[in-house]
Structure 1
Amino acid sequence: MDRLDELKQHLVPGKVYRRADLTRWTASVDRDIRKLLDAGELTKLSGGVYMRPKTTSFGRAPASDRDLVEAFLRDKRFLLLTPNAYNALGVGATQLYNETAVYNRKRHGRFRLGNRVYDFRIKPEFPAAATREFLLVDLVNNLKRLAEDETQVLERAKVVARELDPNALRQAAEDYGGVRAKKFFNDVFAEMDAADG
């Protein structure tokens, strides 16, 4: 078995690798990457990010968003979010978006990874998973980016806010809300407190 075959044995189909990951299996990493690219055994997704192709009955499968972003950031701490998630809140958001935001602590900007473009946004705080409370706060934070009627969405957001866990919503607004979102939710909480009082 030659050195290139030995390297290929370590590469799992469908898995994403950084150039640095491959250095543990070969001393001539750049030459071997070039050979694997030429042979179709590796696919370049971005500068220094590669994937071992995985073939299914439908053709070549793309890398998972999670694996791709993790390799690109060299970090597991990020949140993938598509504005389509807001549609499930019941606030009248119905547009479909072909965009994925990546909340993280390292990179900012739009980057093409493979065939997809990701909008990396540096955020000091974000949850490990998007709860309904977080999504409602995030919706208000990002309302200017959406193609929805702001007034209608905000009116529906007030109704939805009353249906959510009030403590979790207060915490989400405090932890993740921008200036506009904090003011909006403070007004909502004041109305709720007045109604309860």
Structure 2
Amino acid sequence: MDSAISEIPGTPGTSEHSAPRRELTATADNGLKIVVVGGFGVGKTTLVRSVSEIRPLNTEETMTQAGQGIDELGDIEGLRAKSSTTVAFDFGRITLDARNVLYLFGAPGQERFWFLWDRLFSGTLGAVVLVDTQRLADSWYAIDRLEHHGTPFIVARNDFGGPEYTSEQLREALDLDPGVPLIDCDARSRESGKDVLITLVQHLKSLYAPQETTP
């Protein structure tokens, strides 16, 4: 999936509908760490790029023949067309309000880089699991590690035009707890990406809000 990066309107190579980037301001009172995980080529880098209000940090490297037999591209056209891959993590930032910002970390998708995930999960408030319905099995490890760490998460089904599953079928295939939110998204769209993050924040608020007690 091609990446979409919003720039300042009117700059070369951008559309008139692109949202402006913000300068990195003074540190907010609350920096909330969010991790975006999922299988190889599922759109993690694209999501971070599309929503970040600063120019995102990427650790992408060109894929070469040395990766043949290691990075499994399969028979999916979008994967075969990939020419670069994340080898550490992606980083972006989006402001919630004057006191709170989200720091977004996109995890690498290939199995050979999964050893980095446990470190990325350290101090994480919550996570987004991106899934491609053409490769649901690629999401199992991400969900397993998040559950192992006790990290709250939501699942976002990225639109690759793959098989259509009902929410119930997808929940069953991923063995999701009924309390885990499941939404559709297009990682290339800034508005869709923001909806994903809003859903995650609302989910976290519902989990961490003080429980009402009855007298």
Both proteins in one fold, TM over 0.5: no
Q: Please give the range of the TM-score, normalised by the shorter of the 2 chains.
A: under 0.3
State the structure with more CA Rg.
1
> Which of the pair has the greater relative contact order for Cα pairs under 8 Å at 6+ separation?
2
More helix by share: 1
Normalized against structure 2, the TM-score is what? 0.22
